[in-house]
Chains A and B, each alone.
Chain A
């Protein structure tokens, strides 16, 4: 069964996509720089990691880790491009899950956010605060 398309409602539930307002020209200029930097960071993840993984998913097979299927990597790529185009902050790393999923992770101080594309193509969003689960959301 093909996973559902990413919808605005789903994407709005992703913590990365929270947008902040801009108050003046200085902050506008900074915001433009940040957005450009964010875009480049996402592009780096797409070009250097996801496309490379998609060429040879078997390289990710390891002890206790099932390599993600190419379809899962493609879906992660698709989500990365959407988030890139929305100008949202990039993850600090992209990782595999033990079950053949792909996850974007970013952290800031005690908060770690995880967006996982599962082996079924679903999205699982988890947020940890001081290493405890603060919230989790399964986006169908």
Chain B
């Protein structure tokens, strides 16, 4: 049973989700762009965000701005760790299940080592991409 606080260590066999805005065009013809893992200069100071599948359904992980569509990239924690990519359980908005990838952050987002990880995550470590899922608009 999942711990209620979400701070327990991330097991190698855990599936992780990365939300991908469909509007950005980062997924087409079965090819995921490394941009899907590029940190934002303001929002990803502590690292890009992932979600633990044990705490969120894929539809919940896909929930973004109302009325917009999102894909979800599915990854396995052990594969990231095997490539030296650290994943840290962090709470966001008080909700358990949020993960940060400190090695991919605002400061290093265009450095060669960061670009390399972005390519690796998009091209090799993403198990599959699901969606798009539309976030419902408020009534």
Number of interface residues of A (CB under 8 A): 29
Q: Are B33 and A105 within 8 A (Cβ)?
A: yes
The A45-66 residues at the B interface (CB cut-off 8 A) are: 59-60, 62-66
| CB within 8 Å for A112 and B43 given contacts A62-B68, A63-B65, A96-B24 | no
Within 8 A of B (CB), among A83-118: 92-99, 103, 105, 107, 112, 114, 118
Give which listed residue, B21, B38, B115, B123, contacts A63 with CB less than 8 A.
Answer: B21
* Residues of B with C-beta under 8 A to A63: 19, 21, 64-65, 68, 70
A126 on interface, CB distance cutoff 8 Å: yes
Complex interface: chain B residues within 8 A of A60 (CB): 23-24
Bound form: Cα–Cα A37–B119 in Å? 29
- Per the bound structure, the CA–CA distance linking A106 and B40 in Å amounts to 23
A136 contacts partner chain B, Cβ-Cβ < 8 Å:
yes
- Chain B residue at minimum C-beta to C-beta distance from A135: B112
Contacts of B31 in A (CB 8 A): 92, 107, 112
A95 and B33 contact, Cβ closer than 8 Å, known pairs A62-B23, A132-B116: yes
CB–CB B29/A133 < 8 A: no
Residue of B with least CB distance to A129: B119
A132 touches B25 (CB 8 A): no
Closest to A124 in B: B110
- How many residue pairs between the two chains, A and B, have CB atoms under 8 Å in the bound complex? 91
Interface residues of B in 64-121 (CB under 8 A from A): 64-65, 68, 70, 109-110, 112, 115-116, 119-120
Q: Which of B29, B43, B123 meets A64, CB within 8 Å?
A: B43
User: Chain A nearest CB: distance from B61 CB in Å?
Assistant: 12
A2 within 8 A of B: no
**Which residues on B sit within 8 Å (CB–CB) of A92?**
28-29, 31
Asked whether any CB of chain A lies closer than 8 Å to the CB of B124, the reply is yes
Q: Does B47 contact A (CB under 8 A)?
A: no
CA distance in complex: A114, B35 (Å): 10
The one of A59, A64, A96, A112 that contacts B119, using a Cβ cutoff of 8 Å: A112
**Given the contacts A93-B25, A131-B122, A132-B116, A64 and B40 also touching, CB distance less than 8 Å:** yes
24 A-B contacts (beta carbon < 8 Å): A62-B65, A62-B68, A64-B43, A64-B44, A65-B21, A92-B28, A93-B25, A93-B29, A93-B33, A95-B26, A96-B24, A96-B35, A97-B35, A98-B109, A99-B38, A99-B41, A105-B33, A114-B33, A118-B110, A126-B115, A128-B123, A131-B123, A133-B112, A136-B112
Closest 9 CB pairs of A and B: A131-B123, A133-B116, A62-B21, A95-B25, A128-B119, A63-B64, A131-B124, A98-B40, A62-B23
